[in-house]
Amino acid sequence: MSSASTLALSALGWVLGDQPRADRLLSLTGLTPDVLRDGLGETGVQAAVLEFLINHEPDLIAASEDLHVQPRDIIAAHERLTQ
């Protein structure tokens, strides 16, 4: 598993740790709990989680702080997953 995938999965765990944020992820991305569960290893699902964070700066900053990475690391991971 790549470091980008690892970061995406950590970010997903972070997002799902807050019910309103998790609901917003599902609403804005169109992902369902089943798609998330079944697609954990898929780069498209992982990229969608990171894109969700990137598109909402308060979440991007909070996630980067809690995950002990820089916001640019989340952006770079998204770029690697979408290449």
Tally Cβ neighbours within 10 Å of residue 14.
19
Find out whether 7 and 67 touch, Cβ atoms under 8 Å. Answer: yes
Distance spanning both ends of the chain, measured CA to CA: 16
Residue with tokens 């002990």: 68
pTM score above 0.85: yes
Per-residue pLDDT for the chain (83 aa), expressed as one digit of tens each? 679 999 999 999 999 999 999 999 999 999 999 999 999 999 999 999 999 999 999 999 999 999 999 999 999 999 999 99
pLDDT score at 16: 96
- Of 57, 60, 45, which Cα lies nearest the Cα of 15? 60
pLDDT score at 1: 64
